[in-house]
Structure formats: structure tokens, C-alpha cells
Structure 1
Amino acid sequence: MKFIIKLLVLVMISYFVYVYIILKPSNDKAWELEFQTPSTVEFIDEDRVKINHIHDWEYTDEFQTSVRYFDETYNMKNLRRVWFVLEPFSKWQAVAHTYFVFDFQYQEPIAFSIEARREVNEAYSGGAGLVGGYELYYSWGTERDFTGKRAYRDNATLYMYPLKLSGSRMINLFKTLAEETNTLADHPRFYNTLFDNCTNELAKIVRKANPAALPWYSLYVLPGYADYFLYDHGYIDTRLSKNELRQMYNITDIVRQNYKEGFSDAIRDVISVAVLP
């Protein structure tokens, strides 16, 4: 038994030495096309930011049909709503991808997502994500790109929840995400399947923006039920029961049916009928 314990300790020490000391993250690799052009942010004044390299790709059922990026300036005083999007993985519902969507007055919605940055011909693997196989990738994109890609091209199921946040908390969140985007661009870090994934990275940024916003949540490493966590803490409208929650906020069919014409307004028309606070 003592031998096994010593062996486990040695393995853990070796793991941390290898991943956090020997390996060095880098922005200079042969990246897959999707990860070649990271977003950066310029702070114009205390209210306005310019986001560079906003992803705005278009897709067919299987492939992207155009690769496009653009720059856009946003006045944070015009921020009207924040949405939390959950994409459960079909094989194991406890695992999911999550991201934010921000609604601005007078402008199209913009999304923020955290990904595992893959090199050319590199597939995603949870095991590789435990041993420094990927860098982190923070990106800003249109709702048409980030949400359309998942529901329309990838045939994924999506749930999109309006969050109950004050105006100041929305602004603090958006501003902190913008700041962290630049920090990562200058100082690359590794993605980690358990400790630095899409959801717990978002949670860290949320806590940095508003330290009292979220308590520690054991399922940050398994985020498939993050919507229920937000519901329990009052960030999602509790006039619905948990059993009704996903049925009401499932946007999958809306996106697929309206992808070519544009689905952002269709989503908000359906959800705003009964559930927006």
C-alpha cells in the first residue's frame, strides 16, 4: 500500500513538473484555420472598446462557406442583456461547452467563447487536454458564427438562457472578458480538460469581474448542468420549474429553421414572450 501511495505521489509530481515547468505554451504554432486569428481588444475610453478579428464565418450543413473577420466598436453603456449558452455533449450529458452572448442596443449580438486551440490536423482529446496538448483560445464572434456553427453545421443541441444581472455587473463582465482577451494574447496559457476548460475559465473571469457573484461549484469541471447551478443561484428566471427550464430555452430548432434568413431576432421573439424578466 505504501508503495502504491509513493508511486501515485511520484506520478502527480512528474505530471505537474512536466505540464507546468517543462512545457511552455506558445502562440506561434501551425494552427487550424479556425484558430489562426485570435481576437484582440482596444480600449478607446472608459465606455468604448474596439474588438478586432471578430469571427463571422458562414456554414453549410457540413462546412464553412466563407471565412470572414471584422472589427467593431462597442459602447458598454449600450449593453442590454447577457445570455448563457449551453451545448451538452451527446455521449455524456454532464460534459458541455458553454459561452456568453451579449446584446447591445443598435448593434448585432456578439458572443465570447473559450476553446482548446488546435494545431493543423489535430483532433480534440480530453486526455491530451490533461497534459498540455492545447493552448487556450479566447475568441469573439457573431451569434451567426458561434451559435449557427453548433446548431446548424454540427447538429448540436443548444440552450440559451437570459441572465439576471444588473447593468453594472453586465458591464464589469464584458470589460473583464475584454481585458482577459488581451492578457491571453500576450501571455499564452495551456488549456486543461479539468481545471482550465471553457466553463471554469468563464467562471474565473466572472469571479474576477464580480468577486461575490459565484460560489465554488464542484461541477465546473463537468459543466453539463451549469444551467441548473445558475438557476439555483437566481441568475436564471425561477418562475419556471427545472423540468420546464430546458424545454423553454431550447433554441436548436429556431436556429436551424432560420439560419439562412437570420435567427437572432427569432430567438428573442420566442423567448421574450413569457420568460424575460
Structure 2
Amino acid sequence: MVRPGWLASLWHWLIAGVLALLIVASSGWAVLALWYRLPGPTVLRYGVAGLWIIAALACCMGLFLKGWPARALLGYLAMYLVLGIWWWTIQPATERDWAPDVAHIVSGTQEDDNRVTVKNVRNFQWRTPQDFDERWETRHYDLDQLRSVDLLVSYWMGPAIAHTLVSFGFDDGRYLTFSVEIRKERGEAFSTLGGFFKEYEVSIIAADERDIVRVRTNTRSEDVYLYRVQMPKPVMQDLFRAYLDEAHQLQREPRYYNTLTSNCTTLVYAMMKRIVPGLPFDYRLLLSGYLPEYVHSVGALAPGVPFAELKAKGHINAQALKTNGADGFSARIREGIPGTDTPSYDADN
């Protein structure tokens, strides 16, 4: 016969074990948050993170000691409340010592006749990632002359993670590329893990392809793929405007980048969903390296061409290296890519 006291003891140990696991898991997030966002020297971050670990372990031990579980749990909740208040006080900003390549967020104004003036278009001349000539320009575009939308995907750390760019082509042969990027401070480098902990604000960059594409293919040696997207002209125009609207919103209300939920792919999806209601969500929107497959699955890439062929022919690095920064860069990198010899929209409709 099982004694009731034994059952009560087992139940207590099971509950204490579950709570201890929750403390350990939540402390993992807490320690990383303190490490990435606590101001001050490295030794201070080590010290505070170490104190948190010691206090959390003490709370875990208290869960198993007679007379201490409630105090241990309340103590840990109090610690987390203080952490949460501190975390809430960390707010994004528009004014910092930004890195030169993200010093400006694009802005634009539209006239009544569909003509748009775009300010702060980046057109850097890159020699190395650290050696470049800065140039920010004001350009004028006629949205009635939009011809194409291309998806560019740049890989630097395996097949699942990539950076997404969207490039708009016009009848006169010009291209303007939009990119949702982290807004690094001067001297900062990107950290995937840091992107979960309010390490960077979000920025929207508009740039010439000889800048924003070539820096990835020729300077950073990333693998870049280009795909022609099928899209009605009114939707193309709305997407162009959506980028400018999103940029204006970021200038008024800055936001933090998040590696998983607020990145170069999820923000584009959010803009497209406002334009095309009912656009399905898919895990490939989170694993951005697989985004082209998602776009192909909803029928928005070159029709009738298998995805494997689109990917093989869409790898533009060889042409980009051959052309470098010469005139005709945009036309050369599109040679042989299915669909790029025709507009994104159906010209017959």
C-alpha cells in the first residue's frame, strides 16, 4: 500500500522540478539580455550575469527545501519583474552614431501624376568592406514607367539564412533596390543572436544595384541569386510606395530589429499582405533562405520553369564579378535568367 505522504512528496518534487526547469530556461534569456544590453564595461556584464546565475540557482534549490518553495518562487518572480521593467526602458532611437552605410533611411514624396522623388539613395563605390566612397543621392522616378520587380537573395551562412532585397526596374533601364537592414552603430558588426535582444534598430535602405548588389557579390563574396517576380503593375506601384511609407514610419517611430520576427523577409511579407490580402504564411518566411521556393510555390516566379532551373540560372556572382561596377551592371547580371527579358506584369492585360 502506497502511503499518502510518499505521494505528496513525489508530487512536490515533480512540481519543483518543472519550476526549476522554467527558471533555468528563462534565466538563459535573462543572462543573454543582460550580456547584450547592459551598459558598461565587459567586467560589469560578467559580474551581473554571474550574480543572476547564482541567484537563479539558489531559487532552484529553494524549490526543493521544506518551507522555502514559495519564497524561492516569489524571489525569482521579483527578480524577473525588475528585469522586465529595465527591459521595457530600452527604447529604439533615431539619433546615434550610425555606421556610414546606414546613416540615412530613405525618404520619398509623390506628386499627383505618379512621379516620385526619392531622397537618400545610397550609391557607394566599394573597394573593400571598410574602404568605400560615400555618396547619397536624390533621384526621380515615374511609377507609370515601372517595368519589373526582382527578388534578390544573398546567402552568407548556409542555405537557411539569407538577406532579402527587392529591386524595381524602370523602362529607362534604371533599377532601385530596397533593403530592410539592421541599423548598426559605427564599429558594430551583425550578430544573429544579438538580433534577438534589441541590439539594432531597423532601417530601410534604397540603393543603386552597383552598390547594394555588387558589395555582396564582389566585396563580401556572398552568394546572390536573382529571380524575376510576376506582379501586376498596380501591385508593383503599391509595393514601391509601401517601402517609402514603412521608411517614413521608422523615421517617426523607430523599431528594433528582431532576427526572427522583424527582419528583412518578415517586413516585406507584412507589406505584401497589406497589398494582397490572404497571402499565406509559411515557415519559409522565417527561414529566409528558402523564401524563393515559397514565392515559386504561390506562382509568382517565371511561369512554367522548375525551381531548380530558376535557382541554377539565377546565381549572378560570375556575371557580377566579370562586369564589376561598369555601366550595364544591372543588365549583365540578368543575362540568361528566365523571365527577365519581359516585364513582371502581363503587358496584354
TM-score if structure 1 supplies the norm length? 0.91
- The aligned counterpart of 1:219 is 284
CA drift of 1:218 comes to 1.4
1:107-256 to structure 2, matched below 5 A, reads 108-212=174-278, 214-256=279-321
Separation in 2 of the partners of 1:135 and 1:53?
Answer: 18
Range that drifts further, 238-247 or 60-69 = 60-69
SS at match of 1:183: helix
| 1:191-212 superposed Cα distances (whole Å, 9 cap, x missing partner) | 0011111111111111122223
Range that drifts further, 110-119 or 203-212 = 203-212
| 1:99-139 superposed Cα distances (whole Å, 9 cap, x missing partner) | 10000122510000011111111111111110100000111
- The aligned counterpart of 2:57 is none
Distance 1:103 1:64, change over 3 A: farther
Larger-Rg structure:
2
- The aligned counterpart of 2:145 is 78
Distance 1:200 1:20, change over 3 A: farther
CA drift of 1:17 comes to 3.9
CA drift of 1:244 comes to 1.6
Separation in 2 of the partners of 1:177 and 1:256?
Answer: 29
Mapped contact 1:57–1:64 kept (Cα < 8 A): no
Mapped contact 1:130–1:192 kept (Cα < 8 A): yes
Distance 1:40 1:275, change over 3 A: closer
Letter in 2 for 1:247: A
Which of these residues, 158, 175, 185, is aligned with residue 92 of structure 1?
Answer: 158
Mapped contact 1:172–1:210 kept (Cα < 8 A): no
Unaligned segments of structure 1, at least 5 residues: none
Letter in 2 for 1:208: R
Unaligned segments of structure 2, at least 5 residues: 1-16, 31-76, 345-349
Distance 1:265 1:206, change over 3 A: same
- The aligned counterpart of 1:258 is 323
Range that drifts further, 158-167 or 3-12 = 3-12
Letter in 2 for 1:28: E
SS at match of 1:270: coil
CA drift of 1:87 comes to 0.8
Letter in 2 for 1:201: L
Range that drifts further, 40-49 or 150-159 = 40-49
Range that drifts further, 98-107 or 17-26 = 17-26
Distance 1:160 1:18, change over 3 A: farther
Mapped contact 2:210–2:325 kept (Cα < 8 A): no
TM-score if structure 2 supplies the norm length? 0.73
| 1:8-34 superposed Cα distances (whole Å, 9 cap, x missing partner) | 568689599469722100011111111
Identity rate, percent:
23
- The aligned counterpart of 1:2 is 18
Letter in 2 for 1:154: R
| 1:9-67 superposed Cα distances (whole Å, 9 cap, x missing partner) | 68689599469722100011111111112211112225122110100011225554321
Are 1:42 and 2:109 counterparts? yes
CA drift of 1:240 comes to 2.2
| 1:127-183 superposed Cα distances (whole Å, 9 cap, x missing partner) | 111010000011100011110110011111110001010111111111111111111
Range that drifts further, 264-273 or 162-171 = 264-273
Mapped contact 1:84–1:160 kept (Cα < 8 A): yes
Distance 1:275 1:225, change over 3 A: farther
Separation in 1 of the partners of 2:93 and 2:128?
Answer: 33
| 1:239-261 superposed Cα distances (whole Å, 9 cap, x missing partner) | 22232221111111111100132
Mapped contact 2:214–2:325 kept (Cα < 8 A): no
RMSD over aligned CA atoms reads 2.4
Mapped contact 1:57–1:145 kept (Cα < 8 A): yes
